[in-house]
Structure 1
Amino acid sequence: MLIGILSDTHIPDRAYSLPKTIFDIFSTVDLIIHCGDITDREVLDSLEDLTNVVAVKGNMDYLDLPKKEILNIDNLKIGVIHGDIIYPRGDLLKLKLLAKEMGVDVLISGHTHIPFIEKRDILLLNPGSPTVPRCPLKSVMTFDTENKEAKLIIIE
Structure 2
Amino acid sequence: MIAVISDSHIPDRTDSIPEEFQLKMKDADKVVHCGDFESEKVYRRLSQNYGLIGVKGNCDYFDIESSQKFTWKQVDFGVYHGAGIHPRGHHPTLAKTARQLGVDVLLHGHTHQQEIAEHDGKILLNPGSCTGVGGGSSKTKDPSMMKIKVRDRKLEVEVVNKDRESGDIYTSSEKILNIDSISDKE
Q: TM-score, normalised by structure 1?
A: 0.90
Amino acid at match of 1:153: V
Alignment gaps of 5+ in structure 1: none
What RMSD in Å do the two structures reach over aligned CA positions? Answer: 1.6
Q: Give the one of 160, 169, 182 matched to 1:153.
A: 160
Partner of 2:143: 138
Which of the two has higher C-alpha Rg?
2
In structure 2, runs of 5+ residues without a counterpart are: 164-186
> In structure 2, what is the Cα distance between the partners aligned to 1:79 and 1:4?
14
CA displacement 1:41-83 (0-9 Å, x = unmatched): 3323443454311100011101211000011221111110010
What is the aligned partner in structure 2 of residue 129 from structure 1? 129
Which deviates further from its counterpart, 124-133 or 36-45? 36-45
Residue range with higher mean Cα deviation, 141-150 or 79-88: 141-150
Structure possessing the higher relative contact order (Cα contacts under 8 Å, 6 or more residues apart): 1
Match of residue 98 from structure 1: 97
Instruction: Please state whether the residue corresponding to 1:9 is helix, strand or coil.
Output: coil
Q: CA deviation at 1:119?
A: 3.2
Structure 1 runs of 4+ with >4 Å offset: none
Aligned-residue sequence identity (percent) comes to 35
Which secondary structure state, in structure 1, belongs to the residue aligned with residue 160 of structure 2?
strand
Who is 1:60 aligned against?
Answer: 59
Comparing 6-15 with 139-148, greater Cα deviation is found at 139-148
User: CA deviation digits over 1:103-145, x for unaligned, max 9?
Assistant: 1100010000001011342111000002214353320111113
- CA distance in 2 between counterparts of 1:128 and 1:49 reads 23
Q: Distance in 2 between matches of 1:19 and 1:111?
A: 19
